[in-house]
Amino acid sequence: MAAATNTGGTSFSSSAVRRGVVATVQPLATQAGLEALDIGGNAIDAAIACALTLGVVDGHNSGIGGGCFMTLRLRDGRVVTLDGRETAPAAAKRDLFLRDGKVDARLSQDGALAVGVPGELATLEQASRRFGRLPMARLLESAARIADQGFAIDHSYASRLRETERELKQFPEATALFLNGLPEIPAAGNRLRLPALAWSYRQIAAQGVGWFYRGPYAQQTASWMQAHGGILTAADFAAYQPVERQPVRGTYRGYEIISFPPPSSGGVHVIEILNLLERFDLKSMGDGSANFVHVVTEAMKLAFADRAKWLGDPEFTRVPLGLVSKEYAARLARQIRMDRATEVTAAGVPPQAETDYFERERRRHTTHFSTADVEGNWVACTASINTSFGSKVVIPGTGIVLNNHMDDFSAQPGVPNFFGLVGAEANAIEARKRPLSSMSPTLVLLNGRPVLSVGAAGGPTIISQTLLAVLRTIDFQLPPREALAGARFHHQWKPDQLRVEQSLGEPVLAELRRRGHKVVVESSLGAAQAVMLRLDGSWAGSADPRGEGTASFR
């Protein structure tokens, strides 16, 4: 059932693809990805071009001041997952955000203490060096040109500026960058120029990422932090490394699901919920029916209860592998009743929770983009500076907005973060630890061949959106636009609320209320992008129909 608001976001379906396909939330970013393909780049180059351009034209969501996760499938069949999540500064202690024993949420959301060491740039550089074909400097220069010349902000950008104005005004550099250059009430179509960001991109193009992690940028940031009550140091920047992890893998009705492992919770819970739902005949329930929404919601509740207990950075906590086992799903599924919503009182105990765990490796925020090329390279990448304009901190002269991903830690057990998520020991703040994420860049394969790249933006709803896109692709055989247009819903265990898009329709909502769900209706939930290769060799792609993004091909 398509939402009434689903009139944006372009999509395509074509067998005329000669180079590759790109889907992002912003037309200029999609264009940048396509141009990378035009000049001989592969899907990895296209994804890097998208990321760098999104950092300019969609900079309230993501950028090099933040982090990202990349799930890559290479033309030779290898799968690589690159973790570019931020890390806590070495001086971070678990009570960092407590004042008089209570969490002060402003500290984890705005300003110096909110900032984790950014990981996106190092990750893009690694992806480019290992798997790309174009020099990253060339992609940086293209994005710098847009920042220099300016671009028309879209509706989403304008509304974020209006929503965040009060917070942005507490930071002179952010005010000068984002508010002073635009009318008092920003509107779509207003032109924004970011010459300072262009300058930073050009420094990186000329000097390499060392400029950022070990050079002038790191030093200037450390001085700023020291002067403004922060704890981030130049040594924290110098120590940052992207981590190559083992992807989390599952199966669903014969398809292979490959997604992002901890410190994302996304992949684990998308697969945990799919395992649960495999035990139910969703197809015969029908997409958007009360039975469908009910059973998926019950599965979400069980998984999110597990998230709150078990999930955290695998370098610091043992995340049980059993969470994604079919055996555990069978056990959990027995708790689901079709006639009423059950109360989930606590997390489950996955099999071998003490012995088998993920290996130590040696409101809409965030953005997801998908690319693929005809050679067989596929990318699903989700990138973020966390909430709108991150920490709002911009080191003077750089134009780089720093993230507030420190808020994704559990500041105190049971105390919700910005997204209402609770956590425990596993996600407590520790020096150099990575905060738990929900970002779920996911690839779906059939008989070893990639068929779908998908992921989403929007805090914990990322997991639900990605899950629903996969269900609608596999159970209901929908093409990407329809799979993304379908009414969304989300339950994260706590608070006990079933958030639904209005388009589910009143009869379904009434039946859900009757079964005991505490339904909260929203006009629209999240933003997902997807690219698909059909069995007949034709391609399809879609930007979220709720947004202004584009999907296209070369």
Interaction site with ligand GLY (CB under 6 A): 365-366, 384, 386, 408, 437-439, 459
Task: Collapse the DSSP code of 473 into the 3-class scheme (helix H, G, I; strand E, B; otherwise coil) and give the result.
Answer: helix
| CA torsion through residues 161, 86, 429, 224, sign | negative
Of residues 411, 433, 432, 434, the one with CA closest to residue 422? 411
Q: Which long-range contacts link 469-472 to residues 24+ away (Cβ below 8 Å)?
A: 469/528, 469/530, 470/252, 470/257, 470/270, 470/274, 470/442, 470/444, 471/274, 471/277, 471/282, 471/296, 472/287
Of residues 443, 379, 438, the one with CA closest to residue 23? 379
Radius of gyration of the chain from its Cα atoms, rounded to whole angstroms? 22
Q: How near is the Cβ of 306 to ligand GLY at its closest, in Å?
A: 16
Q: How near is the Cβ of 527 to ligand GLY at its closest, in Å?
A: 13
Q: How near is the Cβ of 421 to ligand GLY at its closest, in Å?
A: 8
Pick left, alpha or beta for residue 225 (phi over 0 → left; psi -120 to 50 → alpha; otherwise beta): alpha
Q: H helices of 405-503, where? A: 461-474, 480-485
> What DSSP line would sit under 285-300, residue for residue?
H-TT-HHHHHHHHHHH
Residue nearest to ligand GLY (CB): 437
Q: How near is the Cβ of 260 to ligand GLY at its closest, in Å?
A: 10
First to last CA, the chain: 30
Q: How near is the Cβ of 239 to ligand GLY at its closest, in Å?
A: 21
What are the phi and psi torsion angles at 249 (to 5°)? Answer: -125, 145
**Separation CA 195–CA 430 (nearest Å):** 36
Structure tokens at 180: 């002073």
Q: Is 366 a catalytic residue?
A: yes
Active-site residue (options: 24, 123, 366, 371): 366
Q: How near is the Cβ of 478 to ligand GLY at its closest, in Å?
A: 26
**Separation CA 272–CA 265 (nearest Å):** 10
**Separation CA 551–CA 73 (nearest Å):** 20
Instruction: Provide the annotated active-site residues.
Output: 366
